[in-house]
Amino acid sequence: MSFVTDAFRTRMQATFTGSTTGSPEWVDQLERGTDAGFFGPGSATWSVHGGNQTIVAGVRALLVQALHPGALAGVADHSRYKDDPFGRLAGTIRWIYTVTHGDTATARAGSEWVLKLHERVRGQYVDGHGIGRPYTANDPDLARWVHLAFTDAFLRTAQRWGEPIPGGADAYVKEWAIAGRLMRVEDAPESEAELRAQMDGYLDRGELAVTPRTREVLRFIKNPPLAQLLRPGYRALYQGAVSTLDPRHRSLLGIRTPAIGPIELPVDRATGLVLDGIGGVLGTQSGTERAALARIARLEREAAAGRGVGAA
């Protein structure tokens, strides 16, 4: 039984972090730094990003991002998602958790690094009205759609499978707007109502569309090249992600609403059981959170020592 658990843990670590030998170096480096970061313990962001439901959020975010032909073009034209899908996933995870748990300088540097990588991501795409348009990954409108897709995905999955969010949905959206601004997103939403309104705007303006390229990406998301050991669980997580989609997005994507999970349980329950199983293998606290807590504890000790010296 221990052999199976160890094999499962190794497969999971390789999939989500790109490392099979424990914590990646960038995670350990989050223990360094000079402040608590943009958020900190007790924040809505730490709560939303702290649960294993973020795995479902990642799948959901990819599905929603694929609805924008411009955002999809950047992925299809400039990433090796078919050849190295988990390398790309690990890079995205690294940015999200560097901003979430790193100190402010590290969060800024990590965002600038991603922006620099995006400078070469440019090309042409056909928009929802059939008009050819140029794109760049750092285009504010495309960056906004990606930010909205991530924010909405993390929020909805946390509301479904996570712990109560400190301050509620508005607190999370407002906090995570900081990440949007780090990525040069203009007018990032700061409330749940603004989030919904901005996402609706893309639908209302006809900017979303499903093309043959979209369908190709959707097939890939539904059946990625996972290790055999992980496929049954992924099926439940995928169905869970689909179940949380805005019905209009789900209809546009042409995906049916899942009614029953892979083990003849309601989708919510089946997804929850898989997430509980992942928590049992990987633990309930992420390595990035542990590193952040260690950094904050060190800073508090240093501050206390400094006060003691001053008092003497």
Q: What is the pLDDT of residues 78-128, one digit of tens each?
A: 565 555 555 667 788 899 999 999 999 999 999 999 999 888 878 887 777
Looking at residue 308, its pLDDT comes to 74
C-alpha to C-alpha distance for 59 and 222, rounded to whole angstroms: 9
Percent of the chain with pLDDT over 90: 57
Mean predicted lDDT score pLDDT of the chain: 86
User: How much is the pLDDT for 71?
Assistant: 85
Q: Is the pLDDT score of 229 beyond 70? A: yes
Give the pair of three-digit tokens for residue 71.
């955002």
**pLDDT over 70 at 261, yes or no:** no
**CA–CA separation, 153 and 149 (whole Å):** 6
Total structural domains in the chain? 1
The C-alpha atoms of residue 275 and residue 12 are separated, in whole angstroms, by: 12
Average pLDDT over residues 23-34: 90
CB count in 10 Å sphere of residue 155: 22
Residue 19's pLDDT band, with cuts at 50, 70 and 90, is low
Give me the domain span that covers residue 206: 2-311
Over the stretch 164-184, which tens digit does the pLDDT of each residue have? 999 999 999 999 999 999 999
DSSP for 157-176 reads: HHHHHSPPPTTHHHHHHHHH
Q: In the predicted model, what is the mean pLDDT of residues 251-264?
A: 75
Dist. CA 262–CA 256, nearest whole Å: 15
- Given a cut of 50, whether residue 7 has pLDDT beyond it is no
Over pLDDT 70: what percentage of the chain? 84
CB of 140 within 8 A of CB of 91?
A: no
CA separation for the pair 177, 183 (Å, rounded): 10
Q: Looking at 52-56, 133-137, 187-191, 203-207, which range is the least confident one?
A: 133-137
Q: Of 219, 213, 214, whose CA–CA distance to 249 is shortest?
A: 214
Least confident of 4-18, 55-69, 140-154, 225-239: 4-18
Residue 236's pLDDT band (cuts 50, 70, 90): very high
pLDDT at 80: 58
Higher pLDDT, 285 or 53: 53
Residue 219 has pLDDT above 70, yes or no: yes
Q: Distance between CA atoms of 120 and 32, rounded to whole angstroms?
A: 31
The pLDDT of residue 48 is 97
Residue 241 · residue 63 · CB < 8 Å? yes
Higher-confidence position of 5 and 206 = 206
Closest C-alpha to 200, from 248, 140, 129: 248
Which pLDDT score, from 0 to 100, does residue 289 have?
A: 94
Return the C-alpha torsion angle 235, 241, 242, 243, nearest 10.
110
pLDDT higher for 206 or 260?
206
pLDDT digits (tens, 9 = 90+) for 270-292: 999 999 988 887 766 788 999 99
